[in-house]
Amino acid sequence: MKNIFIILTFTFSTTFTFGQKIKAKQAESAKPFILGVIDEIQSKELAEKRVLNIYLPEGYNQNDTTTYPVIYLLDGSAHEDFIHIVGLVQFNSFEWINQIPKSIIVGIATVDRRRDFTFPTTIKEDLKTYPTTGHSDQFISFLETELQPFIEAKYKTNNDKTIIGQSLGGLFATEVLLKKPTLFNKYIIISPSLWWDNGSLLNQTSNLLTANFNQQTDIYIGVGKEGLTPTEIPRVMEVDANLLAKKMKGTKSKNVNVFFDYLPQENHATIMHQAVSNSFRLLYPIAPKE
């Protein structure tokens, strides 16, 4: 009996030790899957440090002469839209697809989106409910005077600059489009929260709408079946997005292209991925093969 106990103890000990060695070898062989790099910028405009998630395309080399378009992604935290937008960009830039050029993605991690993405409102209830709102002017200055120069100095960029924003991010992208249209030459605006301040942004004038606006600018506006907005005065998301598209299409400039995309199968929660995919097909048309 004693001998049997000794044998069983030895067998268990050997198996356990062998299993531990296998696990140790597996742990040693495991490597992190790296999607991009995490960078930081200290902003004077925002009086805080901001985290940037950066995707660099395959073949990127800081020492060669190749330069890349830059896609600036609002709500660009790892737990927000960064990962799945990187996937769309990588997929669409595969050589055998070649829908869009290989691009750098700058995901701007969120701190306080109501503060950063909204301009001052005249609606007292919104001021009471969302006390930090109304500082989009500072975030626009951050983009213009700090972030874009930072990215252009540190990474291999060209003059092709896109902004992607959804919901309040879409409201912000629309504000930039109307007030500072030359900051980007491609705008991907999805389900914009134009209900903010009772739709006052739809009345904003812009030199984008004048005949002498000479920057080639492409605008994609996508919206799903999203219904009523959270406002006292009834508004409909689809209607507001359509009004924005009509306003943009009313430009006298020949350098502005506008694409309106209604996705009735999507809602406010599901639209982002499909709309960005659609925008790539519209903003980067592939020439038919002869």
CB 52 within 8 Å of CB 107? yes
| Crossing angle between the packed helical segments 82-92 and 271-283, to the nearest 10 degrees | 30
Phi-psi label, residue 128: left if phi above 0, alpha if psi -120 to 50, beta otherwise:
alpha
For every one of its 290 residues, what pLDDT tens digit does the chain have, with 9 covering 90 and above?
555 544 445 454 555 555 555 555 655 788 888 889 999 999 999 999 999 999 999 999 999 999 999 999 999 999 999 999 999 999 999 999 999 999 999 999 999 999 999 999 999 888 888 899 999 999 999 999 999 999 999 999 999 999 999 999 999 999 999 999 999 999 999 999 999 999 999 999 999 999 999 999 999 999 999 999 888 888 999 999 999 999 999 999 999 999 999 999 999 999 999 999 999 999 998 654 54
Residue 102 φ then ψ, to 5°: -55, 135
Q: Which domains does the chain have, with CATH numbers?
A: 32-283 (3.40.50.1820)
Question: In the chain, what is the straight-line distance between the N-terminal and C-terminal CA atoms, in Å?
Answer: 86
Pairing mode, strands 48-55 and 104-108: antiparallel
d(CA 42, CA 49): 4
CB 50 within 8 Å of CB 108? yes
